[in-house]
């Protein structure tokens, strides 16, 4: 046998070099030992399962009684059938969380419950009795509770993953398996976006947290949106919409719709999410959100502090922020030279921060400034305004800066709409 084809050693820790610190090991436990590791309550022999033991983006368990595959799995486990390895995550807290294998774990718990009930002479669920009767009909023996809990159980245990790396692992494990719906993918984003964005050093507020901040009232407040007074955080749902726009390359994300409604009403968004969801955990996505929400936002706030509307253009204007991210996501998906996009981003930051022009992005120019062009829009206001911003940024990421004094061509975009 070739020495390079050695089997992995049980418990040997292996680094995942695509992650910053992530690693995994393959452990052989007993079924009972595994259930204890994930926090199943075995007191009184009832084997209660706490469904919070799965990571946020796992589906809920499918009822066994109505699922032929899980019923067959129940029968196989009860007679000593092997179980494919489960993937779990050890965060260093009291118990592991399941990344892949919640349905297998659910069946294992139900088998333990049924065998425990039989030993106490208690009644068991009709479906469980039917499967145990089938084992007898096949002239095979079911396991005792002790034998079942002592069966070998293999687990791939991961550690030290960031939120986006955990999402990426989940997606890799689901490639080629049953299709994950766009709605479920959106739920993945929603459940993990806060931790992921905070790891990316983007500060955000939930709706509840935002309501605790006193609002500035008066004639100089921004009319398009209510402004977060400190101008340091982003709204949670606002960032979720930005992620959706980036992934879809689509500027007309409806910020007022909940995630599942957006899936029902926007076929383009649904299709694109299914194809490109893994980018949420990619280095490009991280770098792009940091560039928009941190780098570009900071220089705009610094240069346009005297102009409330443009000071918060990224922080608080969905008609600017959403199409900007949509254009950037579109560029990543369609342009073949990613380093060119990175270079254009950097050059724009340099121009805005170092230019002697008080209006380096030409927001305020009376002839071709973005403010004038947007104010001239009279019909279908939201869509046309977003289209202008989207087309201008799309051309910027595609062509770069052609005129340093006018780096983003708002006027040509306005004519094209």
Q: Structural domain tally of the chain?
A: 2
Please give the radius of gyration of the chain, using alpha carbons only, rounded to the nearest integer. Answer: 27
* Residue 3 maps to a domain: no
Q: Contact 384/343 with Cβ under 8 angstroms?
A: no
Reported pTM? 0.59
| pLDDT score, position 208 | 57
Q: Which residues of 179-192 are buried (b: 16+ CB within 10 A; e: fewer)?
A: ebebbbbbbbbbbb
> Given the structure tokens 């975009």, which residue do they identify?
413
Give the tens place of pLDDT for each residue, 387-396: 999 999 999 9
Tell me which of 131, 161, 191 is where a domain ends. Answer: 161
| pLDDT score, position 348 | 96
pLDDT confidence tier of residue 365, bands split at 50, 70 and 90: confident
| Whether 226 and 369 share a structural domain | yes
Tell me which of 132, 161, 190 is where a domain ends. Answer: 161
| Whether 30 and 153 share a structural domain | yes
pLDDT at 280 over 80: no
**E strand or H helix at 155, and its extent?**
strand 152-159
d(CA 360, CA 303): 8
| Whether 240 and 323 share a structural domain | yes
| pLDDT score, position 282 | 63
- Return the percentage of the chain with pLDDT > 70, whole number: 74
| Whether 123 and 204 share a structural domain | no
| Whether 120 and 204 share a structural domain | no
Q: Contact 167/196 with Cβ under 8 angstroms?
A: yes
Contact residues for 229 (Cβ-Cβ < 8 A; gap 6+): 213, 214, 215, 216
Strands 152-159 and 23-30: antiparallel
Q: Which whole number is the average pLDDT over 174-191? A: 50
pLDDT at 285 over 90: no
Partners of 15 in beta bridges: 23
Distances (CA, A) of 16 to 93, 187, 209: 21, 26, 36
Contact residues for 361 (Cβ-Cβ < 8 A; gap 6+): 300, 303, 310, 352, 370, 407, 408
Q: Which whole number is the average pLDDT over 128-136? A: 94
| Whether 202 and 136 share a structural domain | no
Query: Where does residue 222 fall: left (phi above 0), alpha (psi -120 to 50 degrees), or beta otherwise?
Result: beta
d(CA 162, CA 326): 25
* Residue 169 maps to a domain: no
| Whether 142 and 35 share a structural domain | yes
pLDDT at 81 over 80: yes
| Whether 337 and 309 share a structural domain | yes
Alpha helices in 224-312 (DSSP H): 236-248, 259-265, 267-276, 283-290, 297-303, 308-311
| Burial bucket for residue 277 (CB in 10 Å: 0-12, 13-18, 19+) | buried
d(CA 402, CA 399): 8
pLDDT confidence tier of residue 383, bands split at 50, 70 and 90: confident
Q: Which whole number is the average pLDDT over 398-405? A: 88
Alpha helices in 42-85 (DSSP H): 68-78
| pLDDT score, position 269 | 38
Classified as helix, coil or strand, 34 is: helix
* Residue 379 maps to a domain: yes
* Position with higher pLDDT, 300 vs 283: 300
| Whether 87 and 235 share a structural domain | no
* Residue 352 maps to a domain: yes
| Whether 393 and 249 share a structural domain | yes
| Whether 198 and 247 share a structural domain | yes
> Given the structure tokens 């709605």, which residue do they identify?
183
**E strand or H helix at 90, and its extent?**
strand 86-90
**E strand or H helix at 173, and its extent?**
helix 163-174
The CA-based angle 327-311-351, given to 5 degrees, is 65
* Residue 174 maps to a domain: no
| Whether 237 and 126 share a structural domain | no
* Residue 176 maps to a domain: no
For the record, the structure tokens of 260 come out as: 């599942």
pLDDT at 265 over 60: no
Domain span holding position 99:
8-161
| pLDDT score, position 24 | 94
d(CA 46, CA 258): 39
* Residue 170 maps to a domain: no
Give the tens place of pLDDT for each residue, 300-322: 999 998 998 999 999 889 899 99
* Residue 172 maps to a domain: no
| pLDDT score, position 11 | 57
d(CA 81, CA 313): 60
Tell me which of 94, 129, 161 is where a domain ends. Answer: 161
């Amino acid at each position: 046998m070739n020495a390079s084809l050695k089997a992995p050693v049980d418990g040997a820790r292996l680094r995942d070099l695509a992650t910053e610190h992530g690693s995994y090991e393959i452990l052989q436990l007993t079924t009972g030992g595994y259930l204890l590791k994930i926090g199943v309550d075995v007191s009184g022999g009832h084997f209660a399962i706490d469904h919070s033991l799965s990571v946020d983006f796992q589906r809920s368990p499918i009822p066994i009684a109505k699922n032929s595959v899980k019923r067959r799995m129940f029968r196989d486990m009860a007679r000593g059938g092997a179980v494919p390895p489960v993937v779990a995550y050890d965060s260093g807290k009291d118990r592991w969380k399941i990344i892949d294998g919640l349905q297998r774990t659910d069946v294992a718990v139900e088998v333990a419950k049924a065998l425990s009930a039989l030993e106490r002479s208690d009644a068991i669920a009709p479906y469980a009795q039917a499967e145990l009767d089938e084992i007898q009909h096949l002239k095979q023996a079911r396991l005792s509770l002790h034998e079942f809990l002592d069966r070998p159980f293999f687990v791939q245990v991961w550690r030290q993953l960031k939120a986006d790396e955990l999402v990426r692992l989940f997606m890799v494990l689901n490639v080629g398996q049953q299709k994950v719906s766009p709605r479920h993918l959106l739920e993945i984003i929603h459940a993990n976006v806060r931790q992921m964005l905070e790891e990316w050093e983007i500060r955000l507020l939930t709706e509840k947290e935002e309501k605790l901040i006193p609002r500035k009232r008066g004639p100089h407040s921004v009319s398009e949106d209510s402004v977060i007074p400190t101008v340091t955080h982003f709204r949670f749902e606002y960032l979720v919409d930005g992620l959706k726009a980036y992934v879809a390359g689509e500027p007309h994300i409806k910020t007022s719709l909940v995630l599942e409604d957006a899936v029902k009403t926007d076929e383009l968004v649904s299709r694109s999410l299914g194809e490109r969801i893994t980018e949420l955990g990619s280095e490009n996505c991280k770098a792009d959100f940091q560039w928009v929400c941190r780098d570009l936002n900071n220089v705009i706030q610094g240069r346009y502090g005297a102009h409330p509307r443009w000071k918060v253009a990224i922080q608080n204007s969905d008609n600017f922020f959403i199409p900007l991210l949509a254009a950037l996501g579109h560029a990543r998906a369609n342009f073949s030279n990613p380093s060119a996009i990175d270079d254009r981003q950097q050059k724009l930051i340099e121009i805005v921060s170092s230019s002697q022009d008080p209006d380096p992005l030409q927001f305020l120019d009376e002839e071709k400034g973005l403010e004038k062009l947007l104010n001239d829009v009279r019909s279908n206001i939201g869509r046309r305004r977003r289209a202008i911003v989207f087309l201008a940024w799309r051309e910027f990421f595609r062509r770069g800066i052609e005129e340093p004094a006018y780096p983003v061509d708002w006027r040509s975009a306005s004519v094209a709409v």
